Amino acid sequence: MKRIIKIILTCILIVGLLFLWYRADVDDYFKGKYLDMSASDDIFPLEGIIWTQDKGKVELTEFYRQHFSDTSFKFPRQKVKTIKLFRNIPMFGVFTAKTLKKQNNNLFLKFCNDTANFDFGETTWEISDSEYYVRLYDNNNNVVGKLFLCLENCGMTDARPFCPAMKYGGLSEVGLKTITNIINDRTLWE
């Protein structure tokens, strides 16, 4: 009987540790250093029409367009040294890393900040639906940006930190083709 209790407690401990490892990885708990907007900086409403004192009623898409060229919102708002692509497989995705060659970092960053790669539109999907996620690291190996990519039957992205150039996160036809080519072109990766 004592042996059975020991086995059960050991299994509970292992499952608990695996869960904590999974949550820490998903949240970039130990390495995340994002420059997210504070509540006072967050000027981007999530939906509908916004009102401004000087202009009256402004459509949300137009409000985003007004900030496309604002460099303070350029993804990921920090210097990037390394970009890694992972398969979005719970617990095991960290073992699937591919590192983008450093000379191609600007290619990826240009993709993320080019409004032609994204569309305004419905973005109802879950991050767990994505096939890939990309982590962007600074010189100290901190995660300064993260982009989830749902390509198959979805064409959606979710970025942290927020970037108005990515609109609502939907990929345009050009954007879907571009990011698919970047992911599949083995010459771009180490």
| Number of structural domains found in the chain | 2
Range of the domain at 11: 1-30
95 and 169 in a single domain? The answer is yes
81 and 15 in a single domain? The answer is no
Q: Find how far residue 145's CA is from the centre of its chain.
A: 7
71 and 16 in a single domain? The answer is no
Q: What pLDDT does residue 90 have?
A: 80
108 and 159 in a single domain? The answer is yes
74 and 51 in a single domain? The answer is yes
Q: What pLDDT does residue 162 have?
A: 84
Distance CA 21, CA 103 (A): 32
Q: Find how far residue 78's CA is from the centre of its chain.
A: 14
24 and 43 in a single domain? The answer is no
57 and 132 in a single domain? The answer is yes
13 and 49 in a single domain? The answer is no
17 and 109 in a single domain? The answer is no
Distance CA 12, CA 1 (A): 17
25 and 115 in a single domain? The answer is no
Strands 170-171 and 132-137: unpaired
The DSSP code for 58 is: E
Tokens of 176: 């879907």
Indicate yes or no: pTM above 0.95. no
Q: What pLDDT does residue 43 have?
A: 57
Q: What pLDDT does residue 37 have?
A: 59
171 and 100 in a single domain? The answer is yes
- pLDDT (tens, 9 = 90+) of the chain, 190 residues, equals 888 888 888 888 888 877 776 666 655 655 667 666 555 455 555 554 455 555 555 577 777 788 788 888 899 999 999 999 999 988 788 789 999 999 999 999 999 999 999 988 777 788 888 999 999 999 998 999 999 999 988 899 999 898 889 988 899 999 999 999 999 999 999 9
Number of H helices, E strands in the chain: 4, 9
56 and 18 in a single domain? The answer is no
